[in-house]
Amino acid sequence: MPRLRVTLTLALAVLGGATARSPGQQTGDTALTVEGFLQNDEQFDLWTIVAPLPLHALGVQTFVLPLVGKGGRWSRYRNQYVAARGRVARVPGGGTPGIGIDVEDMSARVPPRTTHRTVDHGLTLHADVTLAVIPDRFAWRDAQGGESGVNPIALFTITNRRQAPILFLLPTNDFLCISVTGTQGDYHWDSTTKVLSPDARRFAVQRGGIFRDAIRLPPDAAPRAGRYVARVGVCAVDDYDITAEFDVQ
């Protein structure tokens, strides 16, 4: 049975275009702290921080901030949500976005409004489950009525606390089931992710291992301003269902 390995690849980057500055991460100085996901493009040995909200620095707006210098020294935080403190400067040779950050300090962060639950069936199952919608507060449109460029995700995590692997055997190719409901009960949206092949229905989360997946929420998931509740779980197993709230402005 294969060991489950998940690479969190986030398509949050929309470079350029107008965005609403009120919910964004802004700075007029070269020194800043930015929160986002640490990503690595192994082909080009490029480390980046993918921010959930647009970053404004040195006249540039971007969701993706490359690391300059020895970015690999932060590899222990790969695919994690982090806070990075450093200095941003223009990158020689230009390119997109044309700026980078020399990180002085980095630490893992729990995304805002992350919810937690423990699944404990004694000797047979012990796991921690978390869910966060990132960003937890956003607008689809900016102050001028244009697209803000935000791409919210539901980040779902299972951490195995047992001394043995957690084994999954899915009856179909349906993998993660997600739904979004307005807190007033006036709206509902749902979707399902799929495994790629029948062989992938059998997998394991090893002892001390972490399964992590990011599900993109399209505008149809929460089209109007208001508060919503996202629910995510393994489709064929009730044990891992969890909910988290978020707001659309």
Q: What is the pLDDT of residues 90-143, one digit of tens each?
A: 988 767 899 999 999 999 999 999 999 999 887 767 899 999 999 999 999 988
The whole-number pLDDT of residue 203 equals 85
* One domain for residues 205 and 223: yes
229 and 149 in a common domain = yes
For residue 63, give its domain range: 25-108
Report pLDDT digits (tens) over 229-242.
999 999 988 889 99
List pLDDT tens digits, range 195-208: 988 888 888 899 88
Same domain, 123 and 139: yes
- Report yes or no on 5 lying in a domain: no
Residues 125 and 241 in one domain: yes
Q: Do 187 and 158 share a structural domain?
A: yes
Domain boundary among 108, 137, 171: 108
CB proximity list for 191: less than 8 A, separation 6 or greater: 177, 178, 179, 215, 221
Based on the fold, state whether residues 132 and 240 are members of the same structural domain. yes
Which domain-ending residue is among 81, 108, 135? 108
Give yes or no: residues 176 and 238 share one domain.
yes
Residues 148, 217 within the same domain: yes
Are 94 and 165 in a shared domain? no
Is the omega angle on the peptide bond into residue 66 within 30 degrees of 0, that is, cis?
no
- For residue 244, give the CATH number of its domain: 2.60.40.2360
Q: Is the pLDDT of residue 6 over 90?
A: no
CA distances to 36, 117, 193, 211, 235 from 168, rounded to whole Å, are 30, 19, 16, 12, 11
User: How confident is the model at residue 1, as a pLDDT?
Assistant: 44
Number of domains in the chain: 2
How far is Cα 151 from Cα 37, in angstroms, rounded to an integer?
13
| Domain identity same for 77 and 171 | no
Does any domain span residue 82? yes
59, 155: one domain: no
pTM recorded for the entire structure: 0.82
**Which of 108, 143, 172 finishes a domain?**
108
> Is residue 64 assigned to a domain?
yes
Judged against a pLDDT cut of 80, whether residue 54 lies above it is answered with yes
Higher local confidence (pLDDT), 99 or 45? 99
* Cβ neighbours, 10 Å, residue 52: 25
Q: Percentage of the chain with pLDDT > 70?
A: 87
